[in-house]
Structure 1
């Protein structure tokens, strides 16, 4: 069974900690702006020490990052946790997390934060939310796709949340941009696409994250997908949501083969891939070639260019939740049910 955290309510406290990367001093204003937006909406914000520092690809030592995260996961007066953003080497703190002492609460984020989300759901059966980062919530208005995160975090067990693909996405990043009215400059038409088909529908339990980081959990105590399905999902099939942050087309292909050959896709209903700023062609080999070969290997339906990951905006996917996803004519819709 999946355990869903209690619904987040106004007046409650959200903890901000940096289990991966912290925020350089020249960008500290982004944290203050986001804090103000949550306070304006009626939430209390507690910011940990790790948020304000960055050294050697991480906010601080693995011991300090783990201690601060453990404290927030165990505090009953903190009702949700949202890291400022992702990073690079969160994996090294996973053995230091006190998994059995966690007080269930929503943890939200993406990029390297998905390393934590993925491991937490697999190890404990507690649902986690793959979605926006704290620094991207600094505007007076949140775009319709991004803003769904709050509906998700405010939902009770058994709730149904409907989400639709965005109308437009942001082609390039700029933290210097003034919100107008959103943080993201949604300037390019969104089009969800399907490998070898014109329409598709898939149903199953959601699981996924940033491929660059979570594939390194294969073969570790934090990546036992089959055991998770057996213990917490009654062997229900998975709908994988994945994104490529920095891998070339061939590295992307190798990573997919590693996931497939390790058995991660054995009991799956389909795969959903986000838009990517990466995927550089290598010798004429493209990411679409990789997806077509994966479709041949697995005989699974595959959707790509979806609202997931580093090319915003992104929908909110709950690890462990049941979802029905439909795509037709370049548009996608997802009905997500928080059922045990």
Structure 2
């Protein structure tokens, strides 16, 4: 599918939607999230299912979530869809989404984590650019996250795709793992979701050169290694020309492991690919979460620790 760019920035008066295609969210923060968008002059519609809760805390039945998302896809007034939270459930509804309607009425789609599945499906089925960005429940965590997020909404990503983040005790900046320059379509997101899509009609495409970006949270090193090799066996790396690695955030289930072990697992895998690799970028399940234009063409310069959008 040919990539379609440029996305028009939002303007005061534009309609935006708050959606919950995955996990349910409590009612209390929904209006404050809507008010955050209203401060910029955007008008807001809220999905009727967002605070329903069924099965594994899903935001309603599959039919509820399909209907809500398709309603926004089909609404020509809606200019942007903001996912409220991630969690689990997007893969359950991908087969039933109205991609033709979305293609006819292009709009910004924002989110990350479980929303990775939606980003990849939209790219495969429509070629539209979407935004791997904080969900609404993780917006406004830091000034850096906000700066990148608002730049995305206001069409400024091309000017400064990766604003500098001052190093601190928890973050020392990007790392060049393998030097080199590469160009391709920026695709990726949460590793677990990409592995889950392998072998499906919504798998990472292999018909174009790709700069693959990856992040994850709470996954054991053995699981990360397993998923990377699963993707490789499925052919997902055939056209990968470079990689951008975000944060692989630790949780309690990994307490017997060290970050160094996971880093060695990732580096060992990347070395076998013989492609440029830029690691330790500020995106993923972290407070400082860089917004990325999923599906846009980029140029990665791993040696200079930077990337730029080409169109």
The TM-score normalised by the length of structure 2 is 0.88
Partner of 1:290: 265
Call closer, same or farther: CA 1:24–1:168 in 2, change over 3 Å: farther
C-alpha distance in structure 2 between counterparts of 1:283 and 1:224, whole Å:
30
Q: Distance in 2 between matches of 1:189 and 1:220?
A: 36
Q: In structure 1, what is the equivalent of residue 90 of structure 2?
A: 90
After TM superposition, give the deviation of residue 94 of structure 1 in Å.
0.6
Residue of structure 2 equivalent to 1:302: 277
Tell me how far apart the structure 1 counterparts of residues 204 and 161 of structure 2 sit (CA, whole Å): 29
Structure 1 window deviating more from structure 2 (104-113 vs 50-59): it is: 50-59
Where do 1:121-160 residues align within 5 Å?
A: 121-137=123-139, 143-155=143-155, 160=158
Are the counterparts in 1 of residues 21 and 69 from structure 2 also a CA contact under 8 Å?
Answer: yes
1:312 matched to which residue of 2? 287
* Higher mean C-alpha displacement, 247-256 vs 203-212: 203-212
Task: Tell me how far 1:214 sits from its aligned partner.
Answer: 2.1
TM-score w.r.t. the length of structure 1 is 0.81
**Kept in 1: contact 2:140–2:146 (CA 8 A):** no
Per the TM alignment, residue 77 of structure 1 is displaced from its structure 2 partner at its CA by 0.9
Deviation at 1:10, TM superposition (A): 1.6
- 1:39 counterpart = 2:19: no
Deviations 1:257-308 (A, max 9, x none): 1111211111122111111223848788822222222123211222222111
Name the structure 1 match of 2:121. Answer: 119
Q: 1:263 aligns with which of 235, 246, 252?
A: 235
User: C-alpha distance in 2, partners of 1:92/1:262?
Assistant: 21
Q: Deviations over 1:289-333 (max 9, x none)?
A: 22222123211222222111101312221122111234568xx43
Q: Gaps (5+ residues) in structure 1?
A: 170-185, 230-234
Paired with 2:19 and 2:90, the residues of 1 have a C-alpha distance of 12
Q: What is the CA–CA distance in structure 1 between the aligned matches of 2:222 and 2:69, rounded to whole Å? A: 35
**Greater mean deviation of Cα atoms: 33-42 or 271-280:** 271-280
1:189 aligns with 2:171: yes
C-alpha deviations, 1:46-76, integer Å up to 9, x for none? 1112222333321110011010000001101
Q: Within 5 Å, which residues of 2 pair with 1:59-70?
A: 59-70=59-70
Structure 1 residues 299 and 138, CA, compared in 2 at 3 Å: closer, same or farther?
closer
SS, match of residue 309 in structure 1 = coil
Counterpart-to-counterpart distance in 1, 2:301 and 2:213: 14
- Whether contact under 8 Å (1:203, 1:325) holds in the other structure is yes
Cα distance in 1 for residues equivalent to 2:279 and 2:301: 12
Match for residue 101 of structure 1? Answer: 101
Report the 3-state secondary structure (helix = DSSP H, G, I; strand = E; otherwise coil) of the residue aligned with 2:211.
strand
Q: Is the 8 A contact 1:50 1:60 kept in 2?
A: yes
Query: Equivalent residue for 2:244?
Result: 272
Q: Does 1:49 align with 2:51?
A: no
Shift of 1:160: 2.9
